[in-house]
Amino acid sequence: MARLFGTDGVRGLANTDLTADLALGLAQATAVVLGKGRSAEARRAAGRRPVAVLARDPRISGEFLSAAVAAGLASSGVDVLDAGVLPTPAAAFLIQDIGADFGVMISASHNPAPDNGIKIFARGGTKLPDVVEERIESYLERDILMPTGGDVGRIRRFADAEDRYVVHLLGSLEKQRLDGIHVVLDCANGAASGVSPETFRDAGAQVTVIGNEPDGMNINEGVGSTHLDLLARTVVELGADVGIAHDGDADRCLAVDASGRVIDGDQIMAILAVSMKRRGVLASDTLVATVMSNLGLKIAMAENGISMVETRVGDRYVLGAMSDGGFSLGGEQSGHVVMSRYATTGDGILTGLHVLAEMARTGRSLADLASVMTVYPQILVNVSGVDRSALESDEVLADAVRGVEAELGGTGRVLLRPSGTEPLVRVMVEAADQATADRHAHALADIVRTRLAV
Protein backbone atom coordinates (compact mmCIF):
# COMPACT_ATOMS: atom_id res chain seq x y z
CA MET A 1 0.00 0.00 0.00
CA ALA A 2 1.42 3.41 -1.02
CA ARG A 3 2.03 5.94 1.72
CA LEU A 4 -1.13 7.99 2.33
CA PHE A 5 0.23 10.78 4.51
CA GLY A 6 2.18 13.54 2.82
CA THR A 7 3.96 16.51 4.36
CA ASP A 8 0.69 17.86 5.79
CA GLY A 9 -1.88 15.11 6.21
CA VAL A 10 -3.72 13.15 3.54
CA ARG A 11 -4.54 15.26 0.50
CA GLY A 12 -5.97 14.75 -3.00
CA LEU A 13 -8.82 15.34 -5.41
CA ALA A 14 -12.01 15.03 -3.39
CA ASN A 15 -14.25 12.11 -4.30
CA THR A 16 -11.51 10.60 -6.47
CA ASP A 17 -8.31 10.33 -4.42
CA LEU A 18 -9.97 11.33 -1.17
CA THR A 19 -13.29 9.48 -0.94
CA ALA A 20 -15.92 9.18 1.76
CA ASP A 21 -14.90 5.54 2.25
CA LEU A 22 -11.28 6.51 2.77
CA ALA A 23 -12.23 9.32 5.17
CA LEU A 24 -14.40 6.93 7.21
CA GLY A 25 -11.71 4.24 7.33
CA LEU A 26 -9.00 6.77 8.18
CA ALA A 27 -11.14 8.10 11.04
CA GLN A 28 -11.70 4.61 12.40
CA ALA A 29 -7.98 3.82 12.22
CA THR A 30 -7.18 7.14 13.91
CA ALA A 31 -9.63 6.37 16.70
CA VAL A 32 -7.85 3.07 17.39
CA VAL A 33 -4.35 4.61 17.46
CA LEU A 34 -5.05 7.96 19.16
CA GLY A 35 -7.92 6.70 21.31
CA LYS A 36 -5.53 4.57 23.36
CA GLY A 37 -3.60 7.34 25.12
CA ARG A 38 -3.54 7.88 28.86
CA SER A 39 -6.19 10.57 28.62
CA ALA A 40 -8.51 8.31 26.64
CA GLU A 41 -7.97 5.40 29.02
CA ALA A 42 -8.67 7.67 31.99
CA ARG A 43 -11.95 8.71 30.36
CA ARG A 44 -12.92 5.09 29.84
CA ALA A 45 -12.04 4.24 33.43
CA ALA A 46 -14.38 7.03 34.50
CA GLY A 47 -17.12 5.68 32.24
CA ARG A 48 -16.65 8.30 29.53
CA ARG A 49 -15.57 7.99 25.92
CA PRO A 50 -12.53 9.57 24.21
CA VAL A 51 -13.23 13.02 22.71
CA ALA A 52 -12.19 14.45 19.33
CA VAL A 53 -12.59 17.94 17.85
CA LEU A 54 -13.64 18.15 14.18
CA ALA A 55 -13.48 21.25 11.96
CA ARG A 56 -13.31 22.07 8.24
CA ASP A 57 -12.80 24.85 5.73
CA PRO A 58 -15.78 25.92 3.56
CA ARG A 59 -15.01 24.00 0.36
CA ILE A 60 -18.03 21.99 -0.77
CA SER A 61 -16.45 18.55 -0.39
CA GLY A 62 -15.74 19.28 3.25
CA GLU A 63 -19.40 18.67 3.98
CA PHE A 64 -19.45 15.01 2.98
CA LEU A 65 -15.88 14.37 4.16
CA SER A 66 -16.53 15.79 7.63
CA ALA A 67 -19.71 13.70 7.82
CA ALA A 68 -17.68 10.59 6.94
CA VAL A 69 -14.99 11.42 9.50
CA ALA A 70 -17.59 12.07 12.20
CA ALA A 71 -19.26 8.74 11.38
CA GLY A 72 -15.96 6.90 11.49
CA LEU A 73 -14.99 8.35 14.84
CA ALA A 74 -18.39 7.87 16.48
CA SER A 75 -18.67 4.30 15.19
CA SER A 76 -15.32 3.66 16.88
CA GLY A 77 -16.47 4.86 20.29
CA VAL A 78 -15.26 8.47 20.13
CA ASP A 79 -17.41 11.47 21.06
CA VAL A 80 -17.14 14.10 18.34
CA LEU A 81 -17.38 17.85 18.94
CA ASP A 82 -18.12 19.35 15.51
CA ALA A 83 -16.84 22.93 15.37
CA GLY A 84 -18.00 23.51 11.79
CA VAL A 85 -16.08 25.96 9.60
CA LEU A 86 -13.01 27.25 11.45
CA PRO A 87 -9.30 27.75 10.68
CA THR A 88 -6.82 24.93 11.14
CA PRO A 89 -5.07 26.73 14.03
CA ALA A 90 -8.45 27.12 15.74
CA ALA A 91 -8.92 23.35 15.65
CA ALA A 92 -5.44 22.83 17.10
CA PHE A 93 -6.11 25.36 19.86
CA LEU A 94 -9.49 23.85 20.77
CA ILE A 95 -8.00 20.37 21.14
CA GLN A 96 -5.58 21.78 23.70
CA ASP A 97 -8.10 24.10 25.32
CA ILE A 98 -10.66 21.43 26.21
CA GLY A 99 -8.20 18.59 26.75
CA ALA A 100 -9.53 16.53 23.83
CA ASP A 101 -7.74 13.31 22.97
CA PHE A 102 -7.14 14.36 19.35
CA GLY A 103 -8.72 16.27 16.49
CA VAL A 104 -9.28 16.29 12.74
CA MET A 105 -9.25 19.22 10.30
CA ILE A 106 -10.74 18.84 6.82
CA SER A 107 -8.86 21.23 4.52
CA ALA A 108 -6.54 21.43 1.54
CA SER A 109 -5.13 24.76 2.71
CA HIS A 110 -4.08 26.91 -0.28
CA ASN A 111 -5.06 24.29 -2.90
CA PRO A 112 -7.99 24.92 -5.31
CA ALA A 113 -11.55 23.97 -4.36
CA PRO A 114 -11.72 20.51 -6.00
CA ASP A 115 -8.94 19.29 -3.70
CA ASN A 116 -9.33 18.50 -0.04
CA GLY A 117 -7.33 17.01 2.80
CA ILE A 118 -7.49 15.43 6.23
CA LYS A 119 -5.12 16.78 8.89
CA ILE A 120 -4.90 14.95 12.19
CA PHE A 121 -3.70 16.49 15.45
CA ALA A 122 -2.66 14.62 18.58
CA ARG A 123 -3.59 15.52 22.14
CA GLY A 124 -2.40 19.06 22.85
CA GLY A 125 -3.06 20.14 19.27
CA THR A 126 0.29 18.98 17.92
CA LYS A 127 1.05 17.44 14.54
CA LEU A 128 1.66 13.71 14.32
CA PRO A 129 5.16 12.26 14.00
CA ASP A 130 5.80 9.94 11.05
CA VAL A 131 5.71 6.82 13.22
CA VAL A 132 2.15 7.57 14.39
CA GLU A 133 0.99 8.29 10.85
CA GLU A 134 2.44 4.92 9.81
CA ARG A 135 0.55 3.17 12.63
CA ILE A 136 -2.70 4.78 11.51
CA GLU A 137 -2.09 3.65 7.94
CA SER A 138 -1.39 0.10 9.12
CA TYR A 139 -4.85 -0.13 10.74
CA LEU A 140 -6.52 0.63 7.41
CA GLU A 141 -5.57 -2.88 6.35
CA ARG A 142 -6.89 -4.60 9.50
CA ASP A 143 -10.28 -5.68 10.74
CA ILE A 144 -11.20 -3.39 13.63
CA LEU A 145 -13.59 -4.59 16.36
CA MET A 146 -16.32 -1.97 16.66
CA PRO A 147 -18.25 -1.09 19.83
CA THR A 148 -21.99 -1.51 20.09
CA GLY A 149 -24.87 -0.17 22.17
CA GLY A 150 -23.98 2.60 24.57
CA ASP A 151 -20.28 2.35 23.73
CA VAL A 152 -20.57 4.04 20.34
CA GLY A 153 -19.72 7.73 20.25
CA ARG A 154 -22.00 10.75 20.05
CA ILE A 155 -21.73 13.67 17.58
CA ARG A 156 -22.48 17.07 19.03
CA ARG A 157 -22.07 20.65 17.85
CA PHE A 158 -19.16 22.49 19.49
CA ALA A 159 -21.37 25.50 20.24
CA ASP A 160 -18.81 27.95 21.66
CA ALA A 161 -15.82 26.92 19.52
CA GLU A 162 -15.47 30.24 17.68
CA ASP A 163 -15.93 32.30 20.84
CA ARG A 164 -13.22 30.34 22.65
CA TYR A 165 -10.80 30.89 19.78
CA VAL A 166 -11.52 34.63 19.49
CA VAL A 167 -11.05 35.14 23.24
CA HIS A 168 -7.75 33.27 23.02
CA LEU A 169 -6.51 35.43 20.12
CA LEU A 170 -7.46 38.68 21.82
CA GLY A 171 -5.87 37.50 25.07
CA SER A 172 -2.56 37.00 23.26
CA LEU A 173 -2.39 40.76 22.67
CA GLU A 174 -2.20 41.34 26.43
CA LYS A 175 -4.45 44.42 26.24
CA GLN A 176 -2.53 46.00 23.34
CA ARG A 177 -5.21 47.72 21.27
CA LEU A 178 -5.13 48.23 17.49
CA ASP A 179 -7.11 51.49 17.49
CA GLY A 180 -6.27 53.88 14.67
CA ILE A 181 -5.01 51.21 12.25
CA HIS A 182 -6.98 50.62 9.05
CA VAL A 183 -6.42 47.03 7.87
CA VAL A 184 -7.70 45.31 4.75
CA LEU A 185 -8.20 41.60 5.41
CA ASP A 186 -8.18 39.06 2.57
CA CYS A 187 -9.78 35.89 3.90
CA ALA A 188 -9.28 33.83 0.70
CA ASN A 189 -12.99 32.92 0.72
CA GLY A 190 -11.85 30.40 3.27
CA ALA A 191 -12.08 29.33 6.88
CA ALA A 192 -11.15 32.75 8.26
CA SER A 193 -14.00 34.59 6.54
CA GLY A 194 -16.05 34.91 9.72
CA VAL A 195 -13.60 34.79 12.59
CA SER A 196 -10.76 37.00 11.30
CA PRO A 197 -12.76 40.22 10.70
CA GLU A 198 -14.52 39.75 14.02
CA THR A 199 -11.24 39.42 15.89
CA PHE A 200 -9.49 42.40 14.32
CA ARG A 201 -12.55 44.58 14.94
CA ASP A 202 -12.76 43.45 18.55
CA ALA A 203 -9.10 44.43 18.94
CA GLY A 204 -9.93 47.97 17.83
CA ALA A 205 -8.79 48.04 14.19
CA GLN A 206 -10.78 49.64 11.38
CA VAL A 207 -11.43 46.67 9.09
CA THR A 208 -12.21 46.37 5.40
CA VAL A 209 -12.72 42.80 4.20
CA ILE A 210 -12.29 41.13 0.82
CA GLY A 211 -12.42 37.43 -0.05
CA ASN A 212 -15.01 36.74 2.64
CA GLU A 213 -17.88 35.29 0.62
CA PRO A 214 -17.21 31.54 0.44
CA ASP A 215 -19.63 29.56 -1.71
CA GLY A 216 -17.93 26.18 -1.45
CA MET A 217 -16.09 26.52 -4.77
CA ASN A 218 -14.31 29.89 -4.70
CA ILE A 219 -11.76 29.22 -1.94
CA ASN A 220 -8.33 30.67 -2.88
CA GLU A 221 -9.71 31.71 -6.28
CA GLY A 222 -7.89 34.94 -7.19
CA VAL A 223 -7.65 35.90 -3.52
CA GLY A 224 -5.67 35.03 -0.41
CA SER A 225 -2.00 34.63 0.33
CA THR A 226 -1.25 33.10 -3.08
CA HIS A 227 -2.93 35.95 -5.03
CA LEU A 228 -1.96 39.27 -3.46
CA ASP A 229 -2.67 41.69 -6.33
CA LEU A 230 -6.26 42.47 -5.30
CA LEU A 231 -5.23 43.04 -1.68
CA ALA A 232 -2.43 45.39 -2.72
CA ARG A 233 -4.74 47.38 -5.01
CA THR A 234 -7.43 47.64 -2.33
CA VAL A 235 -4.99 48.89 0.32
CA VAL A 236 -3.68 51.60 -2.01
CA GLU A 237 -7.11 52.63 -3.30
CA LEU A 238 -8.54 52.99 0.23
CA GLY A 239 -5.43 54.58 1.72
CA ALA A 240 -5.33 51.81 4.34
CA ASP A 241 -2.34 51.29 6.61
CA VAL A 242 -1.81 47.59 6.01
CA GLY A 243 -3.21 44.51 4.30
CA ILE A 244 -3.26 41.00 5.77
CA ALA A 245 -3.81 37.90 3.62
CA HIS A 246 -4.71 34.42 4.82
CA ASP A 247 -4.85 31.19 2.85
CA GLY A 248 -7.83 28.81 2.72
CA ASP A 249 -7.41 27.39 6.21
CA ALA A 250 -5.77 30.52 7.70
CA ASP A 251 -2.54 28.97 8.93
CA ARG A 252 -0.58 31.47 6.80
CA CYS A 253 -0.19 35.24 6.94
CA LEU A 254 1.36 37.51 4.34
CA ALA A 255 1.04 41.28 4.35
CA VAL A 256 1.24 44.37 2.16
CA ASP A 257 2.29 47.81 3.36
CA ALA A 258 0.50 51.10 2.66
CA SER A 259 2.15 51.40 -0.76
CA GLY A 260 1.01 47.90 -1.77
CA ARG A 261 4.45 46.31 -1.40
CA VAL A 262 4.39 42.66 -0.33
CA ILE A 263 5.82 41.82 3.09
CA ASP A 264 6.60 38.10 3.10
CA GLY A 265 6.99 35.58 5.89
CA ASP A 266 10.71 36.29 6.34
CA GLN A 267 10.05 40.00 6.86
CA ILE A 268 7.18 39.27 9.22
CA MET A 269 9.44 36.98 11.27
CA ALA A 270 12.12 39.69 11.35
CA ILE A 271 9.60 42.24 12.68
CA LEU A 272 8.28 39.88 15.34
CA ALA A 273 11.70 38.58 16.39
CA VAL A 274 13.13 42.07 16.95
CA SER A 275 9.99 43.10 18.84
CA MET A 276 10.00 39.98 21.02
CA LYS A 277 13.70 40.33 21.82
CA ARG A 278 13.22 43.96 22.81
CA ARG A 279 10.38 42.94 25.14
CA GLY A 280 12.30 40.00 26.59
CA VAL A 281 9.96 37.27 25.29
CA LEU A 282 12.06 35.75 22.50
CA ALA A 283 13.22 32.45 24.01
CA SER A 284 17.03 32.13 23.93
CA ASP A 285 17.03 35.14 21.57
CA THR A 286 16.61 32.63 18.75
CA LEU A 287 14.51 32.40 15.58
CA VAL A 288 13.83 29.11 13.76
CA ALA A 289 13.53 29.29 9.95
CA THR A 290 14.09 27.03 6.96
CA VAL A 291 17.04 26.92 4.58
CA MET A 292 14.86 28.72 2.00
CA SER A 293 14.60 31.89 4.07
CA ASN A 294 16.24 34.92 2.50
CA LEU A 295 19.85 35.68 3.33
CA GLY A 296 18.67 39.12 4.39
CA LEU A 297 16.81 37.55 7.33
CA LYS A 298 19.97 35.89 8.61
CA ILE A 299 21.94 39.13 8.31
CA ALA A 300 19.20 41.16 10.01
CA MET A 301 19.02 38.73 12.90
CA ALA A 302 22.79 38.81 13.40
CA GLU A 303 22.72 42.62 13.41
CA ASN A 304 20.09 42.54 16.15
CA GLY A 305 21.80 39.93 18.34
CA ILE A 306 19.40 37.14 17.42
CA SER A 307 20.58 33.61 16.63
CA MET A 308 19.02 31.51 13.88
CA VAL A 309 18.37 27.78 13.74
CA GLU A 310 17.84 26.54 10.17
CA THR A 311 15.73 23.49 9.27
CA ARG A 312 14.63 21.60 6.20
CA VAL A 313 11.73 23.07 4.22
CA GLY A 314 8.36 22.31 5.81
CA ASP A 315 6.56 23.68 8.86
CA ARG A 316 6.74 20.28 10.57
CA TYR A 317 10.54 20.62 10.69
CA VAL A 318 10.26 24.15 12.05
CA LEU A 319 7.86 22.91 14.72
CA GLY A 320 10.19 20.03 15.59
CA ALA A 321 13.19 22.33 16.05
CA MET A 322 11.14 24.76 18.14
CA SER A 323 9.95 21.95 20.38
CA ASP A 324 13.42 20.43 20.76
CA GLY A 325 15.03 23.76 21.61
CA GLY A 326 12.21 25.37 23.55
CA PHE A 327 12.12 28.30 21.09
CA SER A 328 9.21 30.73 20.86
CA LEU A 329 9.24 31.94 17.24
CA GLY A 330 9.73 30.22 13.92
CA GLY A 331 8.31 29.95 10.45
CA GLU A 332 8.67 29.97 6.69
CA GLN A 333 8.91 32.54 3.93
CA SER A 334 5.47 31.37 2.73
CA GLY A 335 3.84 32.89 5.81
CA HIS A 336 3.60 29.92 8.18
CA VAL A 337 4.64 31.68 11.39
CA VAL A 338 4.56 29.85 14.72
CA MET A 339 4.38 31.72 18.02
CA SER A 340 4.66 28.81 20.44
CA ARG A 341 3.62 30.85 23.47
CA TYR A 342 0.13 30.96 21.97
CA ALA A 343 -0.12 28.25 19.31
CA THR A 344 1.04 24.76 18.41
CA THR A 345 0.98 25.44 14.66
CA GLY A 346 1.11 28.33 12.21
CA ASP A 347 -1.75 30.77 12.82
CA GLY A 348 -2.38 33.46 10.22
CA ILE A 349 -4.84 35.47 12.33
CA LEU A 350 -2.57 35.40 15.38
CA THR A 351 0.41 36.48 13.26
CA GLY A 352 -1.50 39.34 11.65
CA LEU A 353 -2.72 40.59 15.03
CA HIS A 354 0.81 40.71 16.38
CA VAL A 355 2.17 42.52 13.31
CA LEU A 356 -0.49 45.20 13.82
CA ALA A 357 0.18 45.21 17.55
CA GLU A 358 3.81 46.14 16.86
CA MET A 359 2.65 48.94 14.57
CA ALA A 360 0.35 50.23 17.33
CA ARG A 361 2.97 49.77 20.05
CA THR A 362 5.69 51.68 18.20
CA GLY A 363 3.65 54.09 16.09
CA ARG A 364 5.70 52.99 13.06
CA SER A 365 4.37 52.02 9.63
CA LEU A 366 4.68 48.46 8.36
CA ALA A 367 7.18 49.59 5.71
CA ASP A 368 9.34 51.18 8.41
CA LEU A 369 9.20 48.07 10.60
CA ALA A 370 10.05 45.82 7.63
CA SER A 371 13.12 47.91 6.84
CA VAL A 372 14.93 46.04 9.63
CA MET A 373 15.61 43.46 6.91
CA THR A 374 17.07 43.96 3.44
CA VAL A 375 15.56 41.43 1.05
CA TYR A 376 18.26 40.02 -1.20
CA PRO A 377 17.21 39.33 -4.81
CA GLN A 378 16.38 35.65 -5.03
CA ILE A 379 15.61 33.31 -7.91
CA LEU A 380 14.42 29.71 -7.82
CA VAL A 381 14.83 27.52 -10.91
CA ASN A 382 13.22 24.07 -11.04
CA VAL A 383 15.07 21.48 -13.13
CA SER A 384 13.02 18.45 -14.17
CA GLY A 385 13.99 15.15 -15.75
CA VAL A 386 17.03 14.63 -13.56
CA ASP A 387 18.30 12.06 -11.07
CA ARG A 388 17.75 13.70 -7.68
CA SER A 389 19.69 10.97 -5.88
CA ALA A 390 22.95 11.96 -7.62
CA LEU A 391 22.76 15.59 -6.52
CA GLU A 392 25.15 15.34 -3.58
CA SER A 393 27.70 13.00 -5.22
CA ASP A 394 28.44 14.86 -8.47
CA GLU A 395 31.82 16.54 -8.05
CA VAL A 396 31.60 18.70 -11.19
CA LEU A 397 28.37 20.21 -9.88
CA ALA A 398 29.88 20.63 -6.42
CA ASP A 399 32.85 22.50 -7.90
CA ALA A 400 30.52 24.78 -9.84
CA VAL A 401 28.56 25.59 -6.67
CA ARG A 402 31.78 26.34 -4.78
CA GLY A 403 32.87 28.66 -7.59
CA VAL A 404 29.62 30.64 -7.46
CA GLU A 405 29.77 30.84 -3.66
CA ALA A 406 33.34 32.17 -3.84
CA GLU A 407 32.32 34.83 -6.36
CA LEU A 408 29.32 35.91 -4.26
CA GLY A 409 31.27 35.96 -1.00
CA GLY A 410 29.16 37.36 1.80
CA THR A 411 26.73 39.05 -0.59
CA GLY A 412 24.86 35.99 -1.71
CA ARG A 413 23.99 32.33 -1.23
CA VAL A 414 23.49 29.14 -3.24
CA LEU A 415 21.15 26.27 -2.35
CA LEU A 416 20.51 23.14 -4.40
CA ARG A 417 17.98 20.66 -3.06
CA PRO A 418 15.84 17.82 -4.39
CA SER A 419 12.09 18.35 -4.29
CA GLY A 420 10.37 16.20 -1.72
CA THR A 421 7.23 15.77 -3.82
CA GLU A 422 8.24 16.04 -7.50
CA PRO A 423 11.07 14.70 -9.73
CA LEU A 424 12.84 18.05 -9.62
CA VAL A 425 16.01 19.65 -8.37
CA ARG A 426 15.49 23.20 -7.10
CA VAL A 427 18.30 25.69 -7.72
CA MET A 428 18.11 28.81 -5.55
CA VAL A 429 20.55 31.73 -5.76
CA GLU A 430 20.55 34.99 -3.83
CA ALA A 431 22.79 37.91 -4.71
CA ALA A 432 23.18 41.63 -4.19
CA ASP A 433 21.35 42.32 -7.48
CA GLN A 434 18.78 40.42 -9.55
CA ALA A 435 20.94 40.16 -12.68
CA THR A 436 23.71 38.39 -10.78
CA ALA A 437 21.27 36.02 -9.12
CA ASP A 438 19.62 35.18 -12.44
CA ARG A 439 22.94 34.60 -14.22
CA HIS A 440 24.30 32.20 -11.61
CA ALA A 441 21.00 30.35 -11.09
CA HIS A 442 20.50 29.59 -14.78
CA ALA A 443 24.16 28.61 -15.22
CA LEU A 444 23.91 26.14 -12.33
CA ALA A 445 20.56 24.87 -13.62
CA ASP A 446 22.19 24.10 -16.98
CA ILE A 447 24.92 22.10 -15.22
CA VAL A 448 22.33 20.19 -13.18
CA ARG A 449 20.37 19.45 -16.35
CA THR A 450 23.50 18.15 -18.10
CA ARG A 451 25.15 16.24 -15.25
CA LEU A 452 22.06 14.64 -13.72
CA ALA A 453 20.06 13.89 -16.87
CA VAL A 454 18.13 10.61 -16.87
The residues that are catalytic are 109
The identity of residue 29, as a single letter, is A
State residue 296 phi and psi, 5-degree precision: -60, -30
Strand segments, DSSP code E, in 102-167 are 102-106, 115-122, 155-157
How far from chain centre, in Å, is Cα 263?
17
How far from chain centre, in Å, is Cα 262?
18
Dihedral-angle region of residue 40 (phi above 0 means left; psi in -120 to 50 means alpha; beta otherwise): alpha
Q: Is 94 helix (H, G, I), strand (E, B) or coil?
A: helix
- Which of 54, 182, 31 minimizes the C-alpha distance to 106? 54
Question: Measuring CA to CA, how many Å separate 168 from each of 38, 245, 383?
Answer: 26, 20, 44
Answer yes or no: is 109 a known binding residue: yes
Quote the CA–CA distance of 382 and 419 in Å, as a whole number: 9
Quote the CA–CA distance of 189 and 349 in Å, as a whole number: 14
Helix (H) or strand (E) holding 210: strand 206-210
Question: Measuring CA to CA, how many Å separate 387 from each of 90, 272, 394, 401, 418?
Answer: 41, 40, 11, 18, 9
**Percent of the chain that is helix, strand, coil (3-state, to 5):** 40, 20, 40
Strands 254-256 and 242-245: antiparallel
CB 200 within 8 A of CB 185: yes
- Which of 125, 113, 235, 238 minimizes the C-alpha distance to 186? 235
Q: Is 251 helix (H, G, I), strand (E, B) or coil?
A: coil
Helix (H) or strand (E) holding 54: strand 51-56
Answer yes or no: is 324 a known binding residue: no
Full strand arrangement of the beta sheet holding 337-339: 307-311, 286-290, 329-331, 337-339
How far from chain centre, in Å, is Cα 334?
8
Question: Measuring CA to CA, how many Å separate 202 from each of 198, 205, 291, 331?
Answer: 6, 7, 37, 26
Task: Summarize the annotated binding site as residue ranges.
Answer: 109, 247, 249, 251
Q: Which parts are annotated binding residues for Mg(2+)?
A: 109, 247, 249, 251
